[in-house]
């Protein structure tokens, strides 16, 4: 019923500086893959060239060639449904026959891509162009080429410190302070922990970054929490009045910006979890939400 | 400021606290 | 313990070998990873201080190789961008800080303009290690690494521009060492509270073995050329005494006060006797204050008596200062053993004789004070075999042996009074000593009054 086709897509910005490597999880087997893809900002034009060549018998009859730009949310527990939030089509070719490689230019300008690409445990937000070669007999030929969207945010006008006194009566009182509440992905968390009362035998203290991915709503809300790092900030037991410095660089970790209620489907939040461990392995902790953004 | 050496000002510990036995 | 140490050292050697191999092949990040693994052995809680020290020394040697490699690379222009930041990615604090100190040192050696900033950062970030043993060794590593690079130049005039004085000056070095010293003393004192109370003696012994780690801070201070008498008086000694007095720990106080005496020059001590002796009066009751003050007096007496020296400056009333402060110490420490009080008087006599040899009145004033002490305590008889008796005997022999002239002893109005306090045996011994001294020195007793005086001194032999 006619041959297949080799489809290749080249984005207009395909130089190394505008490419990123993304870890994705695929299929039932949860196999991890590393994908390199072009990256665009939210208001950038997505365009380039599509090369289509018939393979096999070197002749491809079709009833039309289109390219679509799709942005969608895919939930792990809801595989049948993809929640499309952006969908645009461009016609590339009228019905005809391809006997040799043909190049098509395409462009999606002024497409608002307000959500960032995200690959999580139970949810994925993808952008891709789909080339579709329609045929009157046999199945249509489709190829999807993912691209990433990353949106930068300006520095917030107000960025308060996160400072709080917490404790357990007669046991442990601390004051923690982190220099900001909103950080960018290459930022550094500068802070301190001040001990107001210490009546337990502390073994060590660490600062964890927790990533909480929430999917679904209401009774179907599901949270997946991942510990992105455990960073030891103190070894040994302090006494009252001790002030322990914190300096935690964020760039080594695989973090994303904070996502709040993306397309009503999922959120990704981050927390600083201060954990004190005593000699009997009892853990005392205080979680504090903080916000991450992508900076230009 | 260089991020690699940035710190918050630390509160000074009193001498009594510094040398007190663990409580 | 030996088995644990062997195991740890085996890991260190293996990781160090890997580290060097990676560095030789230009794989810096891999080399640092192996260095971090090696340093992970210093996180152990299983080794005694002695064994930990062995492990620390081996690792320090290996880190020197890393430092040397990085310095060569930096100086050859192969500077790894943001290395100071990169080493801070390490998840465990002990390896992280050892690497930070090593890299910080390389940065400073290759570019003096970051010296002030990095030195301050290193001494502050070490606060994260609050475990006494691990913290002490970490800060010792910091001190050893920085021994040749602490800024030792005069402070510049005050400026509003924070970029001025990036290389640092003497005030920065003093702040650095004094902070490091305060933190180390704190950790060292805190060691006494670790572990079970039944191990107290063992812990004290271990603490003694570690004292040099704390003392090295004082040595470093004394090596700074810009520390003159003025700076010592205003910036150094107050900082040291504040920690010594406040820590209220006998072991630390006794060691630190002795260390101050040994490590700093006598010219500094002459100018700071007041605060130093004042601090002595405030020390813990278990501190051997007598030994500290005697040690200082001996040093200054020797200094004053030096043949090629200028002697004690005339404006410094050395004897009066010591006399006054010793009286204060005795008053503030009612628990001070009597023999220690007398021993202090012995030191004073020694000082008078060495530095003010013509001033017999000073010796007599000491004898008078001693008699006064006994009067106040209603002591009328002292057993010569007791520690107190022995000290009193020493006190009476000292001027005799120094002047070698019985006629001079007769001029000491308070001498007979003190002699009479001894029991018969004691008086007999001293009298014999006096007589032998006169015979050995061929002392002629010219007048009947003086004969009377001598015979009174030797009444235990005559009657």
ipTM of this model? 0.91
Q: Are strands A102-108 and A118-119 parallel, antiparallel or unpaired?
A: unpaired
Mean pLDDT within B2-22: 93
CA proximity to A203, closest of A233, A230, A246: A233
- The pair of three-digit structure tokens given for residue B2, joined into one six-digit string: 């260089």
Torsions phi, psi for C44 (to 5 deg): -60, 150
Residue C315 has a CB neighbour count (10 Å cut-off) of 5
**What is the sign, positive or negative, of the torsion defined by CA atoms of C41, C42, C48, C52?**
positive
Which chain A residue has its CA at the smallest distance from B20's CA?
A: A239
**pLDDT at residue B1 is higher than 70:** no
Mean pLDDT within C118-133: 98
- The pair of three-digit structure tokens given for residue A212, joined into one six-digit string: 């909480």
Helix (H, G, I), strand (E, B) or coil at C455: helix
C228 vs B: CB within 8 A? no
Q: C81, C83, C85, C203: best mutation site toward chain B, by most B Cβ within 10 Å?
A: C85
Greatest Cα-to-Cα distance within chain C, rounded to the nearest angstrom = 97
pLDDT of res. A25? 64
Q: Are the C-beta atoms of C16 and C9 separated by less than 8 Å?
A: no
* Chain A partners within 8 Å of B11 (Cβ): 194, 241, 243
Mean pLDDT within C107-126: 94
Distance of CA B22 to the CA centre of its chain: 17
State the burial class of residue C219 (Cβ atoms within 10 Å of its Cβ: 0-12, 13-18, 19+).
middle
Residues 1-23 (B) with a CB less than 8 A from some CB of A: 3, 6-8, 10-11, 13-14, 17-18, 20, 22-23
- Contact between chains at C128 and A243 (C-beta distance less than 8 A): no
> How many residues comprise chain A?
296
pLDDT of res. C186? 98
> Which H/E stretch holds residue C170?
helix C170-190
Per-residue confidence at C177, pLDDT binned at 50, 70, 90? very high
State the burial class of residue A137 (Cβ atoms within 10 Å of its Cβ: 0-12, 13-18, 19+).
exposed
Chain A nearest C-alpha distance from B5 (Å): 9
| Residues 6 or more apart whose Cβ sits within 8 Å of residue C357 | none
Distance of CA C235 to the CA centre of its chain: 17
Find tokens 């140490």 and name the residue.
C5
* Chain B partners within 8 Å of C127 (Cβ): 10
Which chain C residue has its CA at the smallest distance from A251's CA?
A: C89
CA proximity to A1, closest of A143, A139, A142: A139
Helix (H, G, I), strand (E, B) or coil at A147: strand
C166 vs B: CB within 8 A? no
**pLDDT at residue C401 is higher than 50:** yes
- Contact between chains at C127 and A230 (C-beta distance less than 8 A): no
- Contact between chains at C124 and B7 (C-beta distance less than 8 A): yes
Residue C348 has a CB neighbour count (10 Å cut-off) of 26
CB contacts < 8 A, A to B, total 42
CA proximity to A34, closest of A48, A20, A47, A46: A20
**pLDDT at residue C69 is higher than 60:** yes
Per-residue confidence at B2, pLDDT binned at 50, 70, 90? confident
Q: Are the C-beta atoms of A230 and A208 separated by less than 8 Å?
A: yes
pLDDT of res. A216? 87
* Residues from C in contact with A at Cβ < 8 Å: 43, 85, 88-89, 91-94, 96, 124-125, 127-132, 134-135, 190
- Contact between chains at B22 and C85 (C-beta distance less than 8 A): no
pLDDT of res. A57? 65
Residue C141 has a CB neighbour count (10 Å cut-off) of 20
Q: Are the C-beta atoms of C293 and C280 separated by less than 8 Å?
A: yes
Q: Are strands A141-149 and A31-40 parallel, antiparallel or unpaired?
A: parallel
List, for chain A, all residue ranges whose pLDDT scores fall below the cut of 70: 1-3, 13-17, 25-31, 57
Chain C nearest C-alpha distance from B18 (Å): 6
Q: How far apart are CA B11 and CA A194, in angstroms?
A: 8
* Cα-only R_g, chain B: 14
pLDDT of res. A27? 56
pLDDT of res. A1? 45
**pLDDT at residue C276 is higher than 50:** yes
- The pair of three-digit structure tokens given for residue C6, joined into one six-digit string: 């062997």
Q: Are the C-beta atoms of C342 and C391 separated by less than 8 Å?
A: yes
């Amino acid at each position: 019923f006619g041959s297949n086709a080799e489809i290749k897509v080249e984005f207009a910005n395909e130089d190394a500086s505008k490419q990123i490597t993304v870890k994705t999880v695929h299929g039932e087997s949860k196999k991890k893959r590393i994908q390199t893809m072009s990256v665009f900002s939210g208001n950038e034009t997505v365009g380039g060239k599509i090369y289509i060549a018939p393979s096999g018998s070197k002749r491809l009859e079709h009833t039309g060639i289109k390219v679509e730009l799709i942005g969608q949310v895919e939930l792990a527990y809801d595989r049948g449904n993809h929640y499309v939030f952006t969908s645009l089509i461009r016609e590339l070719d009228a019905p005809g026959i391809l006997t040799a490689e043909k190049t098509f230019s395409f462009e999606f300008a002024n497409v608002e891509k307000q959500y960032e690409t995200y690959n999580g445990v139970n949810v994925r937000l993808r952008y891709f162009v789909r080339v579709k070669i329609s045929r009157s007999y046999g199945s249509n030929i489709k190829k999807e080429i993912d691209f990433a969207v990353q949106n930068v945010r300006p520095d917030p006008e107000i960025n308060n410190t996160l400072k709080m006194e917490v404790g357990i009566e007669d046991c442990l009182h601390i004051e923690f302070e982190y220099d900001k509440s909103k950080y960018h992905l290459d930022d550094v968390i500068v802070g301190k922990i001040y001990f107001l009362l210490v009546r337990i035998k502390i073994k060590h203290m660490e600062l964890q970054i927790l990533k909480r991915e929430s999917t679904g709503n209401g009774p179907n809300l599901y949270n997946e929490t991942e510990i992105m790092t455990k960073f030891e900030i103190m070894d040994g037991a302090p006494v009252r009045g001790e002030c322990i410095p914190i300096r935690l660089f964020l760039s080594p970790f695989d973090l994303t910006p904070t996502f709040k209620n993306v397309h009503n489907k999922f959120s990704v939040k981050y927390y600083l979890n201060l954990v004190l461990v005593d000699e009997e392995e009892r853990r005392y902790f205080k979680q504090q939400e903080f916000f991450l953004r992508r900076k230009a | 400021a260089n991020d690699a050496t940035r710190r918050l000002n630390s509160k000074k510990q009193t001498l009594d606290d510094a040398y007190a036995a663990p409580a | 313990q030996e088995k644990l140490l062997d195991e740890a050292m085996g890991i260190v050697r293996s990781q160090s070998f890997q580290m060097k191999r990676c560095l030789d092949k230009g794989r810096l990040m891999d080399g640092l990873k192996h260095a971090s693994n090696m340093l992970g052995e210093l996180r152990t809680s299983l080794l005694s201080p002695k064994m930990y020290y062995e492990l620390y020394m081996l690792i320090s040697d290996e880190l020197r190789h890393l430092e040397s490699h990085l310095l060569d690379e930096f100086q050859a222009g192969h500077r790894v961008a943001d290395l100071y930041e990169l080493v801070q990615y390490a998840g465990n604090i002990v390896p992280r800080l050892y690497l930070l100190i090593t890299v910080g040192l390389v940065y400073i050696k290759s570019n003096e303009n970051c010296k002030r900033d990095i030195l301050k950062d290193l001494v502050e970030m070490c606060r994260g290690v609050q475990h006494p043993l691990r913290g002490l060794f970490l800060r010792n590593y910091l001190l050893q690494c920085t021994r040749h690079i602490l800024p030792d130049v005069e402070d510049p005039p005050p400026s509003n521009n924070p970029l001025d004085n990036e290389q640092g000056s003497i005030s920065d070095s003093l702040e650095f060492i004094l902070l490091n010293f305060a933190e180390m003393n704190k950790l060292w004192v805190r060691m006494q509270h670790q572990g079970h109370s039944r191990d107290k003696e063992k812990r004290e012994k271990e603490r003694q073995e570690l004292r040099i780690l704390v003392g090295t801070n004082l040595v470093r201070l004394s090596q700074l050329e810009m520390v003159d008498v003025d700076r010592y008086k205003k910036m150094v000694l107050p900082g040291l005494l504040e920690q010594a007095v406040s820590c209220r720990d006998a072991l630390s106080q006794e060691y630190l006060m002795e260390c101050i005496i040994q490590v700093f020059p006598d010219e500094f001590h002459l100018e700071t006797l007041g605060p130093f002796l004042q601090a002595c009066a405030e020390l813990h009751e278990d501190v051997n204050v007598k030994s500290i003050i005697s040690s200082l007096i001996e040093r200054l007496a020797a200094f004053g008596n030096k043949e090629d020296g200028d002697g004690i400056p005339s404006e410094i009333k050395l004897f009066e200062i010591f006399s006054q402060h010793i009286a204060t110490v005795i008053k503030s420490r009612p628990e001070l053993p009597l023999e220690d009080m007398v021993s202090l008087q012995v030191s004073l006599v020694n000082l008078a004789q060495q530095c003010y040899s013509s001033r017999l009145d000073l010796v007599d004033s000491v004898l008078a004070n001693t008699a006064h002490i006994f009067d106040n305590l209603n002591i009328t008889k002292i057993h010569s075999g007791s520690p107190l008796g022995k000290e009193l005997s020493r006190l009476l022999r000292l001027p005799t042996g120094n002047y070698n002239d019985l006629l001079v002893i007769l001029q000491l109005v308070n001498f007979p009074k003190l002699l009479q306090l001894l029991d018969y045996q004691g008086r007999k011994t001293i009298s014999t000593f006096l007589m032998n001294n006169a015979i050995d020195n061929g002392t002629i007793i010219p007048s009947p009054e003086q004969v009377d005086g001598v015979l009174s001194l030797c009444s235990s032999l005559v009657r």
